Chain A
Amino acid sequence: MQRTFKSMAVLMIALLGATAARAQVSVKKNFMKRPFAVTGFTGDPTVAGELTEVLKGDVRLSGCLELIPSEQAEFVQQGAVRGDRGGLVVDCYVTRQATKQTVLARSYPASAQDLRRIGHVMSDDIVKAITGQRGIAETKIAFVWTRGGVKELATMDYDGYNVRQLTYDRSISVHPRWSPDGRKIVYTSYLSVFPDVIEADLYTHQRRRLASFPGLNTGGDFSPDGLKIALTLSKDGNPELYTMDAGGGGFLRLTFTRGAESSPTWSPDSQSIAYVSDDRGSPQIYLINKDGGEPTRLTVSPSYNTEPDWSHPPPGSDMKPMLAVTSRVGGVFQIGLYDSDTREVKPLVADDADNEDPTWAPDGRHLVYAKTRHYRSRLYLLDVVTGEQVELPAVEGDASEPAWGP
């Protein structure tokens, strides 16, 4: 009994500390991580060591497992690396200690160059076996990589490793967004001097212009059903919201204002679009049907709300869809969540730095955003349930405008 009290006190102190140092809003109460031990792998020590590090990193970032010594763990991972470095096979077992029941037993063909990916696949298998939910370890994030005055697109693994530069245009390439199948990225490119919406196919390595009207073409965002792209065009005078067919053409104008409409983000059911409008003064978030009609104003406070990103948690998830927003408060940007009861944006990441560009993971629980401090921008990964956040490994130069892939 006394021990229970003591551990509860420790837990409460830990939670209080976490709340103070980390996020201000807790999305779910009474969430408990499952105690999990990674014991590593027998066999080739170099391979085993790297795999163990990747797996431990993934377990820490999963949000649902607590890395803990095996004596106190509910689940214990064991494994083996077989074969030589040319043709490797990695075995992974997870056992529930109390019942000795095997919850995962799987073999992974691998190569020495491919260990991070194998670790991520393994982690997602473990998360699925224990929680029934899809993990995020195999996902990728696109972002804008600024170096030497040019902005290129790049992708990286969700944990910030394995950075790959995508464009080499020495121009301005910004606002990447993924197609729901992860095959394409739409973005805004100034390669023709003028801002165009470009679609890049990551499989065929082909690019094509989707919109290059006079004026502004930007803000492309795929609907979750993959059929439409919402975007901002100013061809009729000032920046207005449009949709187009994902295959090209079929432009439909949705808004008719004297202000600027920008930053569309789709609802999970692909039926409506949240976006930014400054038609009534300062920028606020509005909602409109995908076929147009009368918009509804969502946010009333604080006075500057931009960059909405609507989470799309998978069916069966215990997360609800949420709108993450960048607000400007006291001269700095902060990340918040829209509260439909009060129509306010409640702060989620607010400190002395500028926090911008929230993008949801496909689990609807993790967010990546850009933090700018002393004029350097870095990406951070936040778990909105636990409030824990980590800085992703830095790239040379600046990283901004992240977009989490499917």
Chain B
Amino acid sequence: MRSKTLSHAVVLALVAMLGLTGCQNSHWPWQKNKNSANGSQAGEPPPLGGNDIGEGTRPIVNGELPHGQFEPIYFDFDSARVRPSEVSKIEAVANWMKSNSGAKLVVEGHCDERGTAEYNRALGERRAAAAREELVRMGVDADRITTISYGKDRPADPGHDEAAWAKNRRCEFSAVTQ
């Protein structure tokens, strides 16, 4: 009994030491290095390691995606069906893409706050995919279009009523020229 207690104490001491080491090393995994001597590195999280699996046809986006060039299209609650009223807006995007053959397009899908987080990420992707399908039908090469779903994380209107929700169930289009 005594030796068992003792060996347990040794294990606990080791655990305690490990725990303490963890505390002193208060740089949690990916904290910005505030004390960095190298100015260009300051404030930058370390790069992600590992393989960049499946980067595929994604354009490289630096910073924020440009909004405002095209009108957003809007959706019904819990629906990814493109409303007939929104088709002409997609046509404007398709026409621009056809006359700017070097450009790529990012389609963002968004949801209102009345769905759960992960389900909304999937629903937002379906909305972006529905818009892409229309663009392809109108003659834009599918390889030039990339989708992003933000779920409910990037509302256009921070309000909590039907007027705000209607503005948040949307797709936004951003042209990326490289």
Contact = CB atoms under 8 A, between A and B. Distances in A.
B53 interface: yes
Contacts of A77: none
Given A169-B45, A234-B129, A263 B54 contact: no
Contacts of A259: 126
Given A207-B49, A214-B146, A333-B116, A195 B121 contact: yes
Interface stretch (A35-43, A51-59, A107-115, A266-274): A107-115
Contacts, number: 181
Interface string A334-375: 000000000000000000000011000000000000000001
Interface in A89-118: 105-111, 113-114, 117-118
A107 B48 contact: no
A234 B147 contact: yes
Contacts of A331: 114
Contact of B48 (A117, A191, A238): A191
B122 A232 contact: yes
Contacts of B46: 207
Interface in B139-162: 146-150, 153, 160
A172 B12 contact: no
A110 B48 contact: no
Contacts of B23: 113-114
B5 interface: yes
A218 B121 contact: yes
A94 to B, nearest CB: 14
A63 to B, nearest CB: 25
Contact of A168 (B45, B54, B121, B122): B45
B61 to A, nearest CB: 4
A326 to B, nearest CB: 5
A68 interface: no
Interface in A207-253: 207-216, 218-219, 232, 234-235, 237-239, 248-249
A278 interface: yes
Interface string A277-290: 01000110000000
Interface in A71-101: none
12 contacts: A166-B30, A188-B121, A194-B61, A207-B29, A207-B50, A208-B49, A216-B125, A218-B121, A232-B122, A234-B149, A278-B119, A356-B116
